[in-house]
Chain A
Amino acid sequence: MQWETVIGLEVHVQLATRSKIFSGASTAFGAEPNTQACAVDLGLPGVLPVLNEAAVAMAVKFGLAIHAEIPEVSVFDRKNYFYPDLPKGYQTSQMYQPIVGAGVVEITLEDGTTKPIRVHHAHLEEDAGKSLHEDFHGMTGVDLNRAGTPLLEIVSEPDMRSAKEAAAYLKAIHSIVTYLGISDGNMAEGSMRCDVNVSVRPKDQEAFGTRAEIKNVNSFRFVERAIAFEVERQIELLEDGGKVIQETRLFDPDRDETRSMRTKEEANDYRYFPCPDLLPVVLDQAYIDHLRDNLPELPAEKRARFESELGLSAYDASVLSATREMADYFEEVKDVCGDAKQAANWVQGELAGALNREGLAIADSPVSAHQLGELIARVIDDTINGKAAKQVFQALWNGQGAKADDVIEAQGLKQVTDTGAIEAMIDQVIADSPAQVAQYRDAEPEKRGKMIGYFVGQVMKASRGTANPQQVNQLLKQKLDALC
């Protein structure tokens, strides 16, 4: 049977506010355990929450970025359950009236095509603390530094049909929140985590199959792997005549499998009710308009502009707009060198390769966008040839020179375009290669094209790479053909 996969994602994004969503304690990552938890975060008797306006603004910005409706009134609810890292015995969240209504996120697939994924809603809530099970001799330690960190939970519709689409959606969310500057998007530090709802159904069936929810998947790669495993598990189960049960599962990246955590029957009754300690959030239109007017250019808009105004391919536009850092870098390179296509080729080619080799993010590139732009400008104005340009790039990467021009000067890489000088080198090479010249002369005329490569190489070598390759080619051909 042909099966179709149906996927919905709940993405939790930690918002980059300085203080917590309901208290003044810092949200900085990595502090000593329990040093960033105040009386409110500890849930001490008598404390009350006060909403952080910055978190509201960030949530609304996200809503505007995905063209969602922003309701005038949203309400915080309590989600009640007991857990040691949940100090109050309830999580303050938004169940019935979330801050962001229905919206759409456009994803780009590998072939460059796009697909809209609907967002059901996004709501604000507080993060819990962390339970630490190691180093406590069989006991559990609790670190409440994270408790009260603002989260935006973005709930998609079940619109994704493959692990690749799910990963693309997660990347699109990542790109939107980092563009907006509302999250650092650092998945390794838990700034973005997601719960994946997966089900399968026969290809032409309309009704959804029973879904399993995979909790707390925290990397793009894990999302794909967890889905791949889960889809296979469900299909196998169904094809063997079994049934998928609605349950919560955990992904184990070490074993590359998902495991049952609890079934629907064991699920908590969270007893949601409106939090009486917080007033409803009422947003006036002027506030929303102000945030809208100050939104940065978003990935989809940038991608469209890269295509239409800069003439980039859909693929290039998508890659170069994927993160704000990437887009900013590319745009500076382009502005300095004046050629979008060259800039795109360099950023995705030489630069991306070097970054990958060293495992660096673009923000940490040793070659600045300005340096790279100047380097490309020297290729465009024929000061250096492509080969030399790569040498210059490597030198800049290694810190051997502050500017491309300095490196070109110091290493004598300036391209030789003087016909007389090139001719002299050609004459020397021809004189030094009688055997090859003889072969060339004896060959069928149509095979000579390939044989010329040897001579080009020799001349380039003689010029230490600085001769203009087109000129070398042209002059060599004339001279060799004259010998035939």
Chain B
Amino acid sequence: MHDKTLAELARSLDAGEFSSRELTQHLLGRIDRLDGELNCFITVTFDQALAAADAADKSRAAGKAGPLTGLPLALKDIFCTRDVRTTAGSRMLDNFISPYDATVVEKLATAGTVSLGKTNMDEFAMGSSNENSHYGPVKNPWDLAAVPGGSSGGSAAAVAAGLVPAAIGTDTGGSIRQPAAFCGITGLKPTYGRVSRYGMIAYASSLDQAGPMARTAEDCALLLSAMAGHDLHDSTCVARGVPDYTEELDTPLAGLKIGLPREYFGDGLAPEVEAAMRDAVKAFESLGASVREVSLPHTHYAIPAYYVIAPAEASSNLSRYDGVRFGHRCDSPSDLIDLYKRSRAEGFGDEVKRRILIGTHTLSEGFFDAYYKKAQQVRRLIRQDFLDAFEEVDVLMGPASPTPAFDLGAKKDPVSMYLQDIYTIAINLAGIPGMSVPAGFVGNRPVGLQILGNHFAEARLLNVAHQFQQATDWHRHRPAFAEENA
């Protein structure tokens, strides 16, 4: 049961092989048994999940089931949920219960999905290994010594371990794609503006985007169809029709033009990862696609630009955590300044503080033009690189990460951690959609192929990924951890 994809589970539920309650109970049982080791969940919502499963079973019995009715999933703990605490992986919000549901949460609930709980993450989505969580690191089910990636590490590991068939993540610089790659699952970061950000705790507002993480492209298509769409609560969410993203999955790839960015195959890329990429490209060629090299000349400016823009926005977005109205408040403050200083010093972890400091500095008088303004100019050039490339080719492909998952505790220096996102970060700056799909292994650790498309080309991306998954079986591999504990 825990091995199946969402599409398969939907068919089983339709066929009456088991009920949503049985499925939910089975998965809650696995979480209960296995998550002590993995630490994927910050909060498991046993009672709410069973109630939602019962409601789904009822509507299925009444003939009112939609494509996602009764299907379990997990939510990254960055989505506000009414009645269930939302921590963003931070001590600051350890006690925070939102009075409202995020738009994504509401849409998925309306679609009949059953949330099993809130998954672990790097604090305020700042990190690439899930080691920055107040609730402790998450282990990679493929290798318990390895990180699951971040910041949506809990979501990725939970899917890989068979605790849940799908999870919702967010991606500001690679936080869906890199953990998907590290955990051997399929993840999609949609176009900026495709999915509402309302109720998604902000890290860097101009880069944040929610997306699905699942076993297959088909499952991602099912979820995106339910998550996407205009929201009157989010001015940056685009008023544009939402297609049924499953409709184009079966379109043959003959004639597809694939571009391989030269800059994504240079120094720093592990040879085994590169070999996996070359194999994947061959598979596409055999499906009728043509491949050419392209250039994204401003690629090497992406990380510096990102580490100006994202911390700048974060420094402002995180000002509301001041101990006054909600969240952590220090004990017996002596005055207002003491309240601010101690509440924030105690509530935030090191990486969050580091980025607040960077952002505060780059926005300061005298530095704004040199940092923030310049970074925005660079951002436009990066975006233009992609637009130029998409004049030539339909999709771009390359590695999601220069290496497979690294060991827990291996990266102590923040900059070496930042460099992890070298292939993912430019995509957020450009606002385009990107996916990571399983494409091989280095030893027992998965490798992810990144597929990029033009703005709002999600249907095409999902089609390309789905066709790849029809021709390969990397996405069907399960970690030994999940199988031993079946």
* Partner-B contacts on A (CB < 8 A): 39, 42-51, 78, 80, 82, 84, 87-90, 140, 142, 269, 271-273, 276-279
Q: Cβ of B99 and Cβ of A44 under 8 Å apart?
A: yes
Q: Which residues of A contact B325 (CB under 8 A)?
A: 42-43, 87, 142
A50 touches B232 (CB 8 A): yes
- Set of chain A residues within 8 Å of B200, measured between Cβ atoms: 46
B125 located at the interface, meaning its Cβ lies under 8 Å from any Cβ of chain A in the complex: no
* Contact (A278, B235) CB under 8 Å given A46-B201, A273-B363: yes
Question: Are B316 and A90 in contact, CB atoms less than 8 angstroms apart?
Answer: yes
B201 and A90 form a contact (CB under 8 A): no
- Pick the interface stretch among B25-33, B364-372, B474-482: B364-372
In the assembled complex, which residues on chain B have CB atoms less than 8 Å from the CB atom of A84?
322, 324, 336
Given contacts A50-B234, A273-B316, 5 further A-B contacts (CB under 8 A): A44-B99, A48-B233, A50-B232, A80-B316, A84-B336
Are A271 and B363 in contact, CB atoms less than 8 angstroms apart? yes
A88 to B79, CA, bound (A): 18
B364 touches A269 (CB 8 A): yes
A88 CA / B320 CA spacing, docked (Å) = 4
Contact across chains for A50 and B319 when beta carbons are under 8 A apart: no
What CA separation (Å) do A84 and B86 show in the bound complex?
23
Contact code string B417-446 (vs A, CB < 8 Å = 1, else 0): 000000000000000000000000000000
Q: Using Cβ atoms and an 8 Å threshold, which residues of chain A touch B368?
A: 271-273
What's the tally of chain B residues with a CB closer than 8 Å to chain A? 43
Assess A45 versus B88: contact at CB under 8 Å? Given A50-B233, A80-B319, A278-B235: yes
CA distance A276 to B336 in the complex (A): 29
Contacts of A273 in B (CB 8 A): 312-313, 316, 363, 368, 372
Tell me which residues across on chain A come within 8 A of B235, comparing CB atoms.
48-51, 277-279
Q: How far is the CA of A276 from the CA of B200 in the complex (A)?
A: 15
Q: A43 — nearest CB in chain B belongs to which residue?
A: B320
Interface residues of B in 311-336 (CB under 8 A from A): 312-313, 315-316, 318-320, 322, 324-326, 336
Partner of B80, one of A43, A45, A50, A140: A45
Q: Are A45 and B206 closer than 8 Å at their CB atoms?
A: no
| Residues of chain A contacted by B322 (CB below 8 angstroms) | 82, 84, 89
Give the chain B neighbours of A50 by CB distance below 8 A. 232-235
Contact A89 B316 (CB under 8 A): yes
Report the Cα distance A84→B205, complex, angstroms: 23
The answer to whether A269 and B80 touch (CB under 8 A), given A48-B198, A89-B319, is no
- Are A276 and B205 neighbours in the complex by a CB distance under 8 Å? yes
Which residues of B lie under 8 Å from residue A80 when comparing CB positions?
A: 315-316, 319, 363
Q: Contacts of A276 on B, CB cut-off 8 Å?
A: 204-206, 236, 313
User: Given A82-B340, A273-B312, A279-B236, A44–B319 Cβ distance below 8 Å?
Assistant: no
Q: Does B100 make an interface contact (CB < 8 A)?
A: yes
Chain B residues 294-353 with CB under 8 Å of chain A are 312-313, 315-316, 318-320, 322, 324-326, 336, 340
Select which of A87, A140, A269, A272 is within 8 A of B320 by beta carbon.
A87
| A140 to B339 Cα, complex, angstroms | 13
Which residue on A lies nearest to B324, using beta carbons? A84
Tell me whether B102 is interfacial, beta carbon within 8 Å. yes
CB distance from B9 to the nearest CB of A (A): 29
* A87 to B325 alpha-carbon distance, docked (Å): 8
Instruction: Give min CB distance, A23 to chain B, whole Å.
Output: 10
| Residues on B with beta carbons closer than 8 Å to the beta carbon of A43 | 320, 325
CA distance A51 to B99 in the complex (A): 22
Q: How far is the CA of A279 from the CA of B80 in the complex (A)?
A: 23
CB distance from B54 to the nearest CB of A (A): 28
Docked complex Cα distance between A51 and B232 (Å): 11
CA distance A122 to B331 in the complex (A): 43
Instruction: Flag whether B93 is at the interface (Cβ < 8 A).
Output: yes
> Could you tell me if A45 and B363 are in contact, using CB atoms closer than 8 angstroms?
no
For A39, the closest partner residue in chain B by CB is B100
Bound-state CA distance A142–B324 (Å) is 9
| Residue in B closest to A83 when the chains form the complex, CB atoms | B336
Query: What chain B residues lie within 8 Å of A47 (beta carbons)?
Result: 198-199, 233
